[in-house]
Structure 1
Amino acid sequence: MDRTLRRLATALVVGAMAPLFDSTIVSVALHGLARDLDAPVATIQWVSTAYLLAVGVVVPVAGWLQHRVGGRRLWMAALVVFGLGSVLCSLAWDAPSLIAFRVVQGLGTGVMLPLLTTLLMQEAGGRDLGRLMGVVSLPTALGPVLGPVVGGLVLGAAGWRWLFWINVPFVVAGLVLAAMLLPADGRTSRPTLDVVGLLLLSPGVVGVLLGLSGAAEPGGFARTAVWAPLAAGGALLAAFVAWATRRRGAALVDVHVLRHRPLAASASLLFLTGASLYGAMLLLPLSFQELRGLDALGAGLLLVPQGVGALASRTLAGRLNDRFGPRPVALAGFAVLGLATLPFVWTGPGTPAGWLVPVLLVRGVGLGAVTIPLMAVGFVGLAREEVPHASIVTRIAMQVGGAVGVAVLAVVLQHALGGAAPVEAFHHSFAWAVGFTAVSLALSLLLPGRPRPAAPEPGRAQLEEVGA
């Protein structure tokens, strides 16, 4: 990776650390927030749900905003919005004000997540994509694992307001580095906003996420509050696809990029990876607390080896991806992930923690290994102007996949608890998590194999081709 690309990656990753850790850090504080703000847990759950929905609203517009504003200016503006939302959250006086300020945070995050990938991929031009994603995936890999630990430590040492103040140094550092290291914006275009597409896609994503977020409550998918927004969101997404197919490049998101097989395979697998990662991240800490009697901080600390494994495997996975292609790396990663999840189908309260630590370490290695090729492969062979559309597609796929995984496994666990002892219920739920991984392993065969260099089309800024 050359110096310019390394500097750009450093500036963007530092700025992205806060929003990528924020959602998981806050998740451990919900019960404390309910107590301190004198609000029912059902209301406080909207602290997380409103943030998630705000992200879903803005992600589809990130590509259009980049064309209108410029990548550097948009990145810095999104950082400011997120930082402002963090400060306001720390000053919230009741539950409704905190929920409203979390929406402000989510608006900044929803722009930053796809823009991070877009700016790096456009600058890379097909060079060292695996190693580049090894850098970019650092906060993505560690956020779900270390976030609860950091949140628990902050809550123990200070109070919930400091959960938001710790974002401020990252925001300030991100702004300084962006001003110093991000290239100045060139001439921006003035594309017309696809208003119809916006009115279909953003509410569609929000409807799906809203429905899935309520599936963990008693009644599961049978509740009107779950299936109604899911059905409405699905219908809006289908209508958007029909609309965008006719509009091609004039659509808010050009769905024709999915004709590119590596991107289609990447999006499908990122959906399943999101389900596997976030679904299992629901089960693991819950099982540690319910079956082993640990508190939230203790459960978070037990997950640290998984984060260490993910951190350790990123660089090697990136190098192997660049050398051998994404297919063998993803196959190996999903195989390791599945085998390291399988023991939880049998573990119980008496299983020594010393035995779980190496299993979680190996599971983290698998997670780190699969993240790199899946994030990189979707952009190989795309023209520069197609990259923003691919960034939005992959981000929505992983976000919705994560929500699906959490919802499905929560319903499976809830149903199993109704007819079995807690140990057997968790065993049954972990078997479903292994099933998600097995499907991902099979779909990895659709990824491209060994890379081969190809000349770009004349007059077209294109990423290098990867052969099937």
Structure 2
Amino acid sequence: MSSFAPLQRLVVTVAIIASFVTFLDGTVVNVALPAISDELGGGITTQQWVVDAYLITLSALILLAGSLSDAYGRVFIMRIGLIAFGISSVAVAAALDPLTLIISRAAQGAAGALLVPSSLALITATMRGELQSRAIGIWTAFTTGAMVVGPLMGGLFVDLLSWRFVFLINVLPIAVTLVLLGRLHLPEHPRGTRVDWLSGALCAVGLGAVVFALIEQPLYGWAAPRIWITAVGGAALFTWFLLRQRHPETPMMPLSLFRVRNFGWGNLATLFVYAALALNGFVISVYLQQGAGLSATAAGLASLPVTILMILLSSRVGAWAGRLGPRLFMTVGPLMMAVGAMLLLTVAEDFSYWWQVLPSMIVLGVGLSLTVAPLTSAILGAIDADHSGIASAVNNAISRVAGLIVVAMLSTIVGGALDLGGFHSAAWVTAVLFALGGIVSWIGIRRDPIEATEPAQPAS
């Protein structure tokens, strides 16, 4: 980060560490799911809820958090989020039954919602142009790397200690970030605008109800009143939420943002790409343990090539996208990941990581490196700095909702059991989702000629 001014380096560092804990906790849990199920019970339904309880509150409240960030200041909201995330992480680690664990995970997701939009908005508010693209590339390398290295760290803790320690990993990063925040003095101008709490509740309850129906319907069937009433009611509440965004003076999710071409099409690409990533991460972590018989650590190591490639390539790809535009990268990257997902169809009963999984991980790693930084830069670079908090929140909410829905539909995708046939079914669905992300990017993404010639702005 030698080309950044001292304040900009501090901003990037804070943004990386603050986002790191939420990305890490969103994925580190995957490799711990079999151990959690063995100790607390509940089978695949408990496993789905442990993941989705976190994603429900994270994805629903991240929109509210974006509004809070713009209204009251990014640093202030981030500090509250860090403290709450630390407390809820301890509660998750101490849970003695599935219900307590799921409630604590929901609280953890709510705290995490305060972190991601605030942290990324620090970058978009202090840097523009090519410098912003490079900063986002660095942020992407570490935060997306956290998403992939999480299973490895989780596996080591599960095998050597206990799954409970998996949720205490982030205590040290939180403490470091709180110290760094004390040194970060930015000329923030909180707008003090009204926050639409009702919309936040409609979004959270609506999403939660739909996800409940999707997870529980394999057990009760769609004809059961508890399923179809919940699904219809949740969809109605979420529709009410969307309708409210057309009227308030300060909407949580300004629908006008989607009229900006790169923002609208980029978020559609986000929906497909991150749904595929969530499905792929969940299925690989669980199947390699329960189906292929690997230890938790070995299952975590399976995705290590993706992490290495992300760290090596993402910042460079971010700089290239800043000069050449994001369209080519956002097309080629997801299509490469679709090929990587298809390679998982070679997994057989006679399991071999080196020939059946490693080639897929390498292709996925290159494709992911080509995709994430240009995708993030294209979406947020299309929106002015005054709305950077809410723009970041919308994009992050969409990526989390994508994962939330696809994990909720897991039983349907794999045919009720994550055996070899279910694993192959998930690989097909993952490949299709990745390919749709690439196609959407080619159709919709353009290079903004004004943004392309805009010089990088130094931090004030």
Shorter-chain TM range is 0.7 to 0.9
Aligned twin of 1:78: 81
Distance (Å, rounded) in 2 between the aligned partners of 1:201 and 1:456: 38
SS in 2 for 1:253: coil
Cα separation, 2, equivalents of 1:139 and 1:410: 31
1:423 positional shift = 4.2
- Equivalent of 2:21, from 18, 22, 37? 18
Q: Name the structure 2 match of 1:133.
A: 136
Q: Provide closer, same or farther for how the CA distance between residues 47 and 427 of structure 1 changes in structure 2, counting only shifts above 3 A.
A: closer
User: Within 1, Cα distance between the matches of 2:148 and 2:181?
Assistant: 27
Taking structure 1 as reference, are residues 231 and 129 closer, same or farther at Cα in structure 2, changes over 3 Å only? Answer: farther
TM-score, length-scaled by structure 2: 0.87
Counterpart check, 1:405 vs 2:402:
no
* Distance change >3 Å, CA 12–CA 213, structure 1 → 2: farther
Q: How does 1:115-126 map to 2 (within 5 A)?
A: 115-126=118-129
Secondary structure in 1 matching 2:281 = helix
**Using a 3 Å threshold, how does the CA distance of structure 1 residues 438 and 448 change in structure 2: closer, same or farther?**
closer
Question: What residue in structure 1 maps to residue 365 of structure 2?
Answer: 364
Residues 1:382 and 2:383 aligned together: yes
Shift of 1:154: 0.9
Deviation readout 1:297-349 (Å, 9 max, x if unpaired): 32222222222223332123212211111101111212221222222234423
Q: State the identity %.
A: 24
> Is contact 1:258-1:264 (8 Å) kept?
yes
Indicate the RMSD between aligned Cα atoms, in angstroms. Answer: 3.0
TM-score, normalized by length of structure 1?
A: 0.86
Q: Measure how far apart 1:262 and its partner are.
A: 0.5
Decide whether the 8 Å contact of 2:14 with 2:119 is kept in 1.
no
Residue 56 of structure 1 aligns to a residue whose secondary structure is helix
- 5+ unaligned residues in a row in structure 1: which ranges? 464-468
Q: How big is the shift at 1:80?
A: 0.8
Give a deviation string over 1:66-85, Cα, whole Å, max 9, x none.
24432111111110111122
Deviations 1:115-152 (A, max 9, x none): 22222211223443332222222344223422122112
User: CA–CA distance in 1 between the matches of 2:334 and 2:382?
Assistant: 24
The residue identity in structure 2 corresponding to 1:253 is: M
- Mapped to 1, the partners of 2:316 and 2:452 lie a distance apart of 27
Report the 3-state secondary structure (helix = DSSP H, G, I; strand = E; otherwise coil) of the residue aligned with 1:233. Answer: helix
The amino acid across from 1:207 in the alignment is A
Corresponding residue of 1:151: 154
Q: Cα 1:67–1:432, aligned 2, differ >3 Å: closer, same or farther?
A: closer
Q: Which moved more, 1:156-165 or 1:315-324?
A: 156-165
- What CA deviation, in whole Å up to 9, does each residue of 1:72-124 have, x standing for no partner? 11111110111122233334455544444333322210111222222221122
CA contact (8 A) 1:325 1:448 kept: no
1:170 and 2:173 aligned: yes
Q: SS at 1:250's partner residue?
A: coil
CA distance in structure 2 between the aligned counterparts of 1:222 and 1:27, rounded to whole angstroms: 31
Task: Give the secondary structure class of the aligned counterpart of 1:29.
Answer: helix
For 2:223 and 2:31, the matched residues in 1 are separated by 28
| One-letter amino acid of the structure 1 residue matched with residue 192 of structure 2 | R
Mapped pair 1:114 → 2:117: yes
Structure 1 CA distance for aligned equivalents of residues 96 and 420 of structure 2? 41
Q: Does 1:442 align with 2:444?
A: no
Letter in 1 for 2:26: S
Residues 106-255 of structure 1: pairs in structure 2 closer than 5 A: 106-180=109-183, 182-184=184-186, 186-214=188-216, 217-218=218-219, 227-247=228-248, 249-255=249-255
| Shift in alpha-carbon separation, 1:21–1:416, aligned structure 2, 3 A | closer
Matched residues, number: 451
**Secondary structure at the counterpart of residue 449 of structure 2:** coil
Query: Which deviates further from its counterpart, 250-259 or 122-131?
Result: 122-131
Q: Distance in 1 between matches of 2:96 and 2:286?
A: 30
Q: 1:209 to 1:130 in 2, by over 3 A?
A: farther
Equivalent pair of 1:309/1:362 in contact (CA under 8 Å): no
In the superposition, relative to structure 1, how do residues 63 and 284 fare at CA in structure 2: closer, same or farther (>3 Å)? closer
